[in-house]
Amino acid sequence: MVLRAMIAGCGGYLPERRLSNDELAALHGLDTSDTWIRERTGIRYRHMAAPGETASDMGAAAAREALAMAGVGAAEVDAILVATSTPDSAFPATAVRIQAKIGANGGFAFDLAAACTGFVYALGIADSLIRTGQARNVLVIGTEVYSRILDWTDRGTCVLFGDGAGAVLVRAGEAAGTTADRGILSCHMHSDGRFGDILQIEGGAGSTGGAGLLRMAGKEVFRHAVTKLAAVVDEALTANGLGHEDVRWLVPHQANLRIIEAMGRKLHLPTERVVVTVDRHANTSAASIPLALAEARRDGRIGAGDLVVMEAIGGGLTWGAALARF
């Protein structure tokens, strides 16, 4: 028998305020429309954090739901890993803020920055911590308040993003070590800093120019997305001796409906086996995959024994994929 990291609970949180495309355009005086946005992105709505609502507030709410689904108490949590590009502060980490808010006072907590790929990176680290015996219960959280880093005069970016948080509780369990076992089969992570400038937040806490706003070369990002995502998904399947026909669900990063549909076609999956939330959540960056997972677990779509592939690409460029059997 071997130690295997099992996804035991999922949780999500969306701010109360929901904005339609038309409301967003009117609010900021944008030269755009619901039709223009939907046809190019698939987005109809997004949620916006309330004044004073932080990444740690949202992450804590998602974490509580994940713990409740898993039946694990906060005191049993050994580690909290938070993927975010919009932390409460440079330090202390948003992860330790969440640790305090949920009462998980043992173990350790830290943030990591890999933009939209952050959740996949964090899941890979959680998997390693469990396989090496350093932790038994790990909270993996993606939480973002992108509404605070957007240029509201740039219709090419500001209409794409929303706020929210998602979380999973990853628990150590014993397995035979085959691909038929429950748990995370493998995680695959990549980056290429040569393309860092095509999707970035200008500046930061240590920058001479101070923190800035999100900037994106949309066509360039799209060009990289489908090819890199298809390659890393095939890498994950090949590493486990599996094929496209073995995948039950695709839970992709929710950036753009066109990219999501292209990935579904690459895997030969019908649309009803691709979890889509981008129409209602927009792009919530590191929160998008765990939010989609939480929704599909709540409504019963993802069930016991289902093989799920998760994939994402983000600023860095970073990209990655994870395979898990529920």
Would you name the residues annotated as active-site residues?
116, 253, 283
Contact 233, 225 (CB under 8 A): no
DSSP 8-state symbol, 271: G
Contact 322, 302 (CB under 8 A): no
Query: Judging by DSSP bridges, how do beta strands 249-252 and 307-314 pair with one another?
Result: parallel
Tell me the C-alpha distance between 13 and 16, whole Å: 9
Contact 204, 211 (CB under 8 A): yes
CA 36-37-42 angle, 5° bins: 125
Name residues whose C-beta falls within 8 Å of residue 126's C-beta, 6 or more positions apart in sequence: 5, 79, 81, 135, 138, 140, 170
Tell me the C-alpha distance between 197 and 195, whole Å: 6
Phi-psi group of 262: left, alpha or beta (phi > 0 → left; psi -120 to 50 → alpha; rest → beta): alpha
